[in-house]
């Protein structure tokens, strides 16, 4: 979007998490197979990612595939994997443009079980964008918040086993530092469209003080105007972090 047309905010979240929900229902409403909803959802992902970057939001995390999503019919899982492939190829094609915009891409989640060609493309995307950090684009793939906390705790347990750490010295910061989002600010705002009011195992530890914004719009129909509404709501929130 043209810089002059961009909305202006008195306060912007540093990190926005988005649960891209409602693709299946969007397709069903139109009598289409579910994967068509994911195709449209992937377009919305590109559109909102770009808009958020243009607005100057530093960090974005999109929930693309949860540890539970493997339970879906194989053809739906395969269609989502194909959308990842397409996007990963695009990241390589648009290398120069993304570099200019200062985009860094990170994949968060458990890498086991992800097809090998996708893993290689994920690593390649991270490598070619690693020098920038103006906009950090996290894509959660095979991600589960509880599983992420277990991963962090296991890393700390290894330190204990090696005698380098004592249980009583474990801090919140240490747990944060071993999550996939280590070094990134916690999300200030979590957006969930499609009329569901759940966190669904998304950024469990990190969203301790996040503001939530829900909407009935299905993700494929989600627009820049909806994202702006979420940011306007955030602007009005009085964040106290447990204080008064
Ligand atoms: C949830 O909607 C959505 C998913 C499980 C998949 C999200 C994937 C994409 C948007 C496409 C690929 C993304 C990238 C990064 C290229 P749902 O299927 O649960 O919807 P429903 O609740 O209406 O069934």
Cα 45 to middle of ligand 1, angstroms: 10
Burial (0-12, 13-18, 19+ Cβ within 10 Å), 61 = buried
pLDDT tens across 9-24, in order? Answer: 999 999 999 999 999 9
97 three-state secondary structure: helix
Flag whether pLDDT at 239 surpasses 80.
no
Cβ of 45 closer than 6 Å to ligand 1, yes or no, is: yes
Per the residue annotation, which of 2, 23, 54, 69 is the catalytic one?
69
In the chain, domain spans: 12-144+189-236
pTM of the full predicted structure?
0.96
Cα 81 to middle of ligand 1, angstroms: 11
Cβ of 140 closer than 6 Å to ligand 1, yes or no, is: no
Task: Return the pLDDT at 78.
Answer: 98
Flag whether pLDDT at 132 surpasses 90.
yes
Flag whether pLDDT at 1 surpasses 80.
no
Listed in sequence order, the residues at least 6 apart from 198 whose beta carbon sits closer than 8 Å to its beta carbon are: 192
* Separation in Å, CA 104 to CA 20, 122, 146, 164, 180: 20, 12, 25, 33, 15
d(CA 128, CA 194): 34
Q: Whose CA is nearest to atom 3 of ligand 1?
A: 21
Q: Whose CA is nearest to atom 24 of ligand 1?
A: 24
* Dihedral sign (CA 65, 68, 72, 77): positive
Task: Return the pLDDT at 225.
Answer: 98
92 is catalytic: no
Task: Return the pLDDT at 3.
Answer: 77
Q: In whole numbers, what is the pLDDT of the chain averaged over residues?
A: 96
Closest CA to 51 of 229, 239, 242, 193: 229
Q: Residue 64 half-sphere exposure, CB side, CA atoms within 13 Å?
A: 31
Task: Return the pLDDT at 165.
Answer: 98
Cβ of 24 closer than 6 Å to ligand 1, yes or no, is: yes
15 three-state secondary structure: strand
Flag whether pLDDT at 170 surpasses 90.
yes
Task: Return the pLDDT at 23.
Answer: 98
Bridge-based pairing of strands 59-66 and 211-214 is unpaired
Q: Radius of gyration (Cα) for the chain, nearest Å?
A: 18
Min mean pLDDT across 34-48, 85-99, 229-243 is at: 229-243
Give 2-10's long-range contacts (Cβ < 8 A, gap of 24+).
3/54, 6/54, 6/55, 7/55, 7/228, 7/231, 9/55, 9/231, 9/232, 9/235, 10/235
Cβ of 104 closer than 6 Å to ligand 1, yes or no, is: no
Say how many residues make up the chain.
244
pLDDT tens across 36-88, in order? Answer: 999 999 999 999 999 999 999 999 999 999 999 999 999 999 999 999 999 99
d(CA 100, CA 1): 16
| Percent of residues, the chain, with pLDDT higher than 90 | 95
Cα 23 to middle of ligand 1, angstroms: 5
Token pair of 128 as six digits: 């070619």
Cβ of 184 closer than 6 Å to ligand 1, yes or no, is: no
12-144+189-236 domain in CATH 3.40.1180.10? yes
Task: Return the pLDDT at 112.
Answer: 93
Atom of ligand 1 minimally distant from the CA of 76? 18
Q: Whose CA is nearest to atom 6 of ligand 1?
A: 64
Q: What are phi and psi of 63, to 5 degrees?
A: -90, 105
Per DSSP, 212 falls in state: E
pLDDT tens across 101-131, in order? Answer: 999 999 999 999 999 999 999 999 999 999 9
Task: Return the pLDDT at 241.
Answer: 79
Tell me what the mean pLDDT of segment 232-236 comes to.
95
69 is catalytic: yes
Q: Whose CA is nearest to atom 12 of ligand 1?
A: 42
Flag whether pLDDT at 4 surpasses 80.
no
């Amino acid at each position: 979007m043209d810089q002059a047309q961009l909305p202006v905010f008195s306060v912007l979240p540093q990190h926005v998490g988005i649960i891209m929900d409602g693709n299946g229902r969007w397709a069903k409403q139109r009598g289409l197979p579910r994967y068509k909803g994911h195709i449209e959802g992937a377009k919305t992902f590109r559109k909102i990612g770009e808009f958020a970057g243009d607005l100057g939001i530093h960090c974005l995390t999109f929930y693309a595939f949860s540890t539970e999503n493997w339970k879906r019919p194989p053809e739906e899982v395969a269609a989502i994997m194909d959308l990842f492939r397409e996007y990963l190829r695009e990241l390589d094609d648009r290398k120069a443009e993304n570099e200019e915009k200062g985009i860094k891409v990170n994949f968060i989640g458990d890498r086991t079980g992800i097809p090998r060609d996708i893993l290689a493309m994920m690593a390649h995307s991270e490598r070619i964008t690693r020098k920038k950090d103006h906009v950090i684009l996290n894509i959660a793939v095979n991600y589960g918040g509880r599983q992420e906390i277990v991963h962090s705790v296991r890393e700390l347990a290894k330190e204990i086993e090696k005698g380098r750490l004592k249980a009583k010295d474990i801090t919140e910061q240490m747990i944060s530092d071993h999550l996939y989002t280590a070094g990134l600010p916690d999300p200030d705002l979590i957006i969930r469209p499609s009329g569901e009011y759940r966190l669904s195992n998304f950024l469990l530890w990190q969203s301790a003080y996040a503001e939530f914004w829900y909407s009935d719009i299905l993700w494929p129909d989600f627009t820049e105007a909806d994202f702006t509404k979420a940011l306007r709501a955030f602007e009005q929130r009085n964040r106290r972090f447990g204080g008064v």
